[in-house]
Amino acid sequence: MTAARVLTRGLLTIASAATAAAGAMCAAESSGEMPATERPVAKAIDSYDAIPAPILPAFTQEASPCHVDEARLRFAPGTDLEDAEGNRLVLMPCGTPGAYNEPYALYFGIDEANLHRIVFPDMTKEGPSILMIAYNLTYEPSTKTLTSFHRGRGSGDCGSWYRWHVDLTRNNHVLVLKDQRVKGACDAYDLGGPQNWTPVWAGPPRTGD
């Protein structure tokens, strides 16, 4: 993959302009250097030309549910991640964004030709389920953690929050749901962040991921 860059910082945020303006961190200093073979390599997808060819029609055809205007990718880009073994994870804006929320679809493949859409594990009142899109994604390579924060309103005092562990070596279970929390009351109290909201599903502590 050409024109790639190595993530040497601890946090890569993939979010809407509204989320960034509200104070989302675009990068945090790394807590330590990782061996070169463990560093994920990331390529920004900020134009149609940068979208992998097998999934290009899903975003360029106007009839597609995930259609995005090319100009939108300049301020809400996708990201193409590749590990040392060549496993690919592609995060792409998908469909119409909201005032505070940017929807994303996720693709996985051993190489570009095998890229296919995968789902986000979800927990409902009826039991385990899936989501086809997630909002305002943040990927943290040092812990292989993907989070989603759907804001009920711009201040972020309500909404839903997910945390998944990412394992690119497991074709059938790329994402494992670790934490899911919700706050329905938009009352100006964010409780210190969505990680402190009422748990819908909570797995082991983060140190055990």
Checking if the pLDDT of 13 tops 80, the result is no
Q: What single letter denotes the amino acid at residue 19?
A: T
79 burial (CB, 10 Å; 0-12 / 13-18 / 19+) is buried
**What would the pLDDT profile of 119-147 be if each residue is shown by its tens digit?**
999 999 899 999 999 999 999 888 999 99
pLDDT tens profile 146-186: 999 999 999 999 999 999 999 988 877 899 999 999 999 99
Q: Indicate the burial class of 172 (C-beta count within 10 angstroms; 0-12, 13-18, 19 or more).
A: exposed
Residue 206: predicted pLDDT: 55
Q: Pick the residue with more confidence: 61 or 125?
A: 61
Q: In the prediction, which pLDDT does 91 show?
A: 96
Residue 111: the pLDDT is 83
Largest CA distance in the chain: 47
